[in-house]
Amino acid sequence: MGLTITNQLKRPEPQALASAVEALAARFGNRLITSQAVRDQHAHTTTWLPSQPPDAVVMAQETADIQDVVRICARHSVPVIAFGTGTSLEGQVNAPAGGVCIDLRDMNKVLEVHAEDLDCVIQPGVTRKALNEYLRDQGLFFPIDPGADASLGGMASTRASGTNAVRYGTMRDNVLALKVVRGDGEIITTGTRAKKSSAGYDLTHLFVGAEGTLGIISELTIKLRGIPETIAAAACSFETVRGACQATILAIQTGIPVARIELLNAAQVRACNSYSKLSLPETPLLLLEFHGSENEVAEQSKNFGEIAKECGGGEFSWTTRPEDRTKLWQARHDAYWSVKALRPGAGVVATDVCVPISRLADCVTETEEDLKRLNLLSPIVGHVGDGNFHCSLVCDIDNPDEMARGEDFMHRLVERAQAMGGTCTGEHGIGQGKQKYLRAELGPEALDAMRALKQALDPQNIFNPGKILPAL
Amino acid sequence: MGLTITNQLKRPEPQALASAVEALAARFGNRLITSQAVRDQHAHTTTWLPSQPPDAVVMAQETADIQDVVRICARHSVPVIAFGTGTSLEGQVNAPAGGVCIDLRDMNKVLEVHAEDLDCVIQPGVTRKALNEYLRDQGLFFPIDPGADASLGGMASTRASGTNAVRYGTMRDNVLALKVVRGDGEIITTGTRAKKSSAGYDLTHLFVGAEGTLGIISELTIKLRGIPETIAAAACSFETVRGACQATILAIQTGIPVARIELLNAAQVRACNSYSKLSLPETPLLLLEFHGSENEVAEQSKNFGEIAKECGGGEFSWTTRPEDRTKLWQARHDAYWSVKALRPGAGVVATDVCVPISRLADCVTETEEDLKRLNLLSPIVGHVGDGNFHCSLVCDIDNPDEMARGEDFMHRLVERAQAMGGTCTGEHGIGQGKQKYLRAELGPEALDAMRALKQALDPQNIFNPGKILPAL
């Protein structure tokens, strides 16, 4: 059992598919793979959505490969699905209508680094950890950290963000320009390396978050930052989620440039205590990071400490020593594994919503009450500076009753967030799992506009069909 | 004489226009204006592009007015042009095919302020100064400052930015969501008040910068900031543009969060000395502003002072006292008027380009040489932290030879910026004046995509026709 997918998509005609695969085999030799095992790997959804493998996988090595796959597939009306690391969470790499997956992992070159301009040009398969490794010697880093070591092409496509978006923004704020392979195999250049531009429609930000449904990103120009002189970590427990949220609101209102501010609810702290042998008070916990000069982070930490106290926070500790920072943040680093360990063998389904920060305490508290009522287990971790939080629902996939309650919980979570002026997804994207919420969130006119854009840029509907837009 | 406009647009059929005006008169009474004087006012281009007045002006008071104008105009295939304050610089409010101008100045209500969320919901006619006046008591401000007291709807439509974009971003970074009236009069909602979202295509950022060519913005949700505790102003002269640019690059690389960093070239400083009776060294000048706590701005100023010294800067002065800050920045505040005073009676044509910051010194220096060679006068002011600079070309509109040299200069300026990896406009937009540069900047594929988007969202081509996209 899994969440229902309503898209009834037409698969390509068998003869057309066979012709496309034949042409791809002639062009790519053993870089065209049709083994079941490899196809299955490329539909791995890391969620409870059913896997829908593509019919074939091409290992791309350069832009011309992407162009040729697209041309061949377009000729035969066969879907094309881009694949980075497969860490997306809403079925973005599934192939509900079959088709050809382009695996971009080997397109992992950093093409140019412009240290003075704080930007670089990369291929889409570069992962964020590999990029930061590459940049470290130059004193530079790329700040977006969604947790997984995702590819930058995939991060752009899902408009990823993560723990330090509160300071550095999301992928939307950090992509300067893209090259995108369109349906006829030609390449759209969406922008320049200039830090800002008002030259025409913002194509860059149309492709960021489009989940590969409008074309395939073949190159990215992204913004970099200087590695901060000093990093401080801090932690503070609160009696209530409301206290933790109030402290966050005040910190942001007063302009403390927190680099990360993460909320772990009581259930998550309990899981971490158990898994990581910690002895944290089992109440909501805020973990923070400050970036700046030594004086700056000292002042920021001190100011936040005062705010925390005002808001009913307990002992406030902060440190700049790397080993102590790691210790303070250990609960956060182990959060995922601590949830996995809660019930060995059960599934963990990750979902996220985002609300105006003034409603965050309400939203988290009501969500906790709902979990209790439904007798479900789901620790909560929040990128609380953005009003964004994640539920990690522990669920026995083979227990239909529990799965039904889980599905009910997910629906109610989204409805709650939307009723509070929020969004059904802050950073995971729509993919397949959240299509049914888009209309309630933005209205039919926005959906009409999105459909018109899809039709305009992908009239053949070959790019990742069945994603984002619900079936009519 | 003026810059050539190549769009040969078809005006509406006289009968269709008459029917539309009749329907508008019936609906709007004396809020429908057809006097030549008022029509002329609404085509004021603040540039050397020829004025092209609309056939009629409607003074809108609420969203329903915009909807009805659009419905009536659509029924008769008559163009609709949105008008805020008329301070755009590339002919954005001209009516090359005639049509109906919707004047939004009376839609100037702040609808909601959410202090905890640092956002507000406003009508499109609210100007930035009025908004900041309204917000001041709550300790909040909206940071984008393009110079003119423009309307927020217009600023969103041209993707405006200005002096403190280096710290707070452009309109792109500060619009959370829009309501947009589409061609059938219905309203598209592009987003929620959540700080981030990955829910579908980024409609918000497609309308930001679209210059009213895809629909009419009827409501904006924008981000606010807390007014900083302390503001420091600083000034430092440099022997060369290169030294000033190098100091800027180092400041940004080391993460000094400058709020404003403005370059005045020697010609601009000379003009300011003359106009404002100052005695600044007539060499490139950097003016800076720092926002933060008292300690923070002190540290930022001190750190920048050291960088400036390394880069050959002269005496570095900084202050937090409001009256001294005003004095330090007087040259910048008077820059426009000082240029106007250089040759009374002559026109001043403003243009802007933006390049990667590593190329800024080259671009400004070569531009200065070009001005000398062409025997033209154009002081330069730069939002140097973004690599964006403005030329204020002083030109006798009645002197065809000077105008020809001016036009030549403008072309060469754009080509130079584009050759350096930059853009033909950092913040003024494309409008009519810069259409001819779009293809060279992004290529034919990007233009194809833009045309497809226009066709998808405005198939009747009634929204501000003849803007952004060059005629085929």
Q: Kindly identify which residue of chain B lies nearest to residue A177, measuring between CA atoms.
A: B442
Query: Cα distance from B343 to chain A (closest Cα, Å)?
Result: 30
- Over 70: is that where the pLDDT of B2 sits? no
Q: Please determine, for residue A55, whether its predicted confidence score (pLDDT) is greater than 70.
A: yes
User: What's the topology of domain A343-440?
Assistant: Alpha-Beta Plaits (3.30.70)
A-contacting residues in B 357-386 (Cβ below 8 Å): 357-358, 386
Question: How is residue A422 annotated by DSSP?
Answer: -
- State residue B397's pLDDT score: 84
Beta bridge partners of A260: A289
- Residue B224 contacts A where some CB pair is shorter than 8 Å: no
What Å distances lie between residue A247 and A257, A291, B27, B141, B199, CA to CA? 14, 19, 52, 21, 28
Structure tokens at B408: 């030549």
Domains A230-336 and A343-440 share a fold: yes
- CA–CA gap between residue B303 and residue B299 (Å, rounded): 6
Phi first, then psi, for residue B428 (nearest 5°) are -90, -20
Report CB contact under 8 Å: B182, A445: yes
Amino acid type, B11: R
Instruction: Give residue A19's identity as a one-letter amino acid code.
Output: S
Nearest CA in chain A to B449: A457
Terminal C-alpha separation, chain B: 24
- What is the β-pairing status of strands A100-103 and A56-59? parallel
Flag if A199 and B425 touch (Cβ within 8 Å): yes
Which backbone phi and psi does A213 adopt, to 5 degrees?
Answer: -90, -5
Helix segments in A374-429, DSSP class H: 400-419
User: Which of A42-51, A149-158, B121-130 shows the lowest mean pLDDT across its residues?
Assistant: A42-51
Q: Please count the other Cβ atoms lying within 10 Å of the Cβ belonging to residue A328.
A: 19
CA–CA separation, A316 vs A310, rounded Å?
A: 12
What H or E segment, with its residue span, contains residue A204?
Answer: helix A203-207
Residues 17-36 of B with CB under 8 A from A: none
Per the structure block, which two tokens stand in for A415? 């409805």
Cα–chain-centroid distance for residue A7? 23
**Whether the predicted pLDDT of B262 surpasses 60:** yes
Residue B235 has pLDDT above 90, yes or no: yes
**Mean pLDDT value across residues B454-467:** 97
CATH code given to domain B230-336:
3.30.70.2190
**What whole-number distance in Å separates Cα of residue A220 and Cα of residue A333?**
29
- The reply to whether B119 touches chain A by the CB within 8 Å rule is yes
Chain A interface includes B391 (CB < 8 A): no
At residue A283, the 3 state secondary structure works out as coil
The answer to whether the CB of B179 falls within 8 A of the CB of B221 is no
**For the domain with range B343-437, which CATH number is right: 3.40.50.800, 2.70.40.10, 3.30.300.130, 3.30.70.2740?**
3.30.70.2740
Of A228, A255, A424, the CB nearest to B199: A424
CATH architecture of B110-226: 2-Layer Sandwich (3.30)
pLDDT at A371 over 80: yes
Tell me what pLDDT residue A472 has.
82
A116 with B253: Cβ contact below 8 A: yes
> What digits encode the pLDDT tens for the residues B5-64?
445 688 999 999 999 999 999 999 999 999 999 999 999 766 778 999 999 999 999 999
How far apart are alpha carbons A382 and A162 in whole angstroms? 10
Predicted pLDDT at A44: 72
Beta-bridge partners for B110: B122
Q: Enumerate residues 414 to 443 of chain B having a beta carbon within 8 A of any beta carbon in chain A.
A: 417-418, 421-430, 434, 437-438, 441-443
Confidence at residue A462, expressed as pLDDT on a 0 to 100 scale: 97
| For residues B250-259, average pLDDT | 93
Residue A292 Ramachandran class (φ > 0 left, ψ -120 to 50 alpha, else beta): left
Find tokens 């000048």 and name the residue. Answer: B285
Q: Is the ipTM of this complex over 0.85?
A: yes
**C-alpha dihedral sign at B57, B62, B65, B71:** positive
Question: pLDDT tens digit string along B148-168?
Answer: 999 999 999 999 999 999 999
CATH domain A14-105 topology:
3.30.43
The minimum CA-CA distance between B345 and chain A, rounded to whole Å, is 31
pLDDT value at residue B8: 67
**At a CB cut-off of 8 Å and minimum separation 6, what does A357 contact?**
A245, A248, A249, A252, A384, A385, A386, A387, B116, B117, B195
Q: What pLDDT, in 10s, does the model give residues B273-297?
A: 999 999 999 999 999 999 999 999 9
Percentage of chain B surpassing pLDDT 90?
94
Note the pLDDT of residue A6.
46
pLDDT tens, B167-201?
999 999 999 999 999 999 999 999 999 999 999 99
List of chain B residues whose C-beta atoms are within 8 Å of the C-beta of residue A299: 293, 295-296
Q: Please say if the pLDDT value at position A439 is more than 50.
A: yes
Q: Do B443 and A357 touch (CB under 8 A)?
A: no
**What pLDDT is stored for residue A8 in this prediction?**
67
* Structure confidence by residue, pLDDT tens digits, B343-400: 998 999 999 999 999 999 999 999 999 999 999 999 999 999 999 999 999 999 889 9
Asked whether the beta carbons of residue A424 and residue B355 sit closer than 8 angstroms, the reply is no
Q: Is A7's pLDDT higher than 90?
A: no
Task: For residues A369-383, give the mean pLDDT.
Answer: 97
Which chain A residue has its CA at the smallest distance from B177's CA?
A442
Domain coordinates in residue numbering, chain B: 14-105, 110-226, 230-336, 343-437
pLDDT digits (tens, 9 = 90+) for B81-130: 999 999 999 999 999 999 999 999 999 999 999 999 999 999 999 999 99
Q: In angstroms, rounded to a whole number, what is the distance separating the alpha carbons of residues B123 and B64?
A: 12
Question: Residue A5's pLDDT is what?
Answer: 44
Average pLDDT, chain A: 95
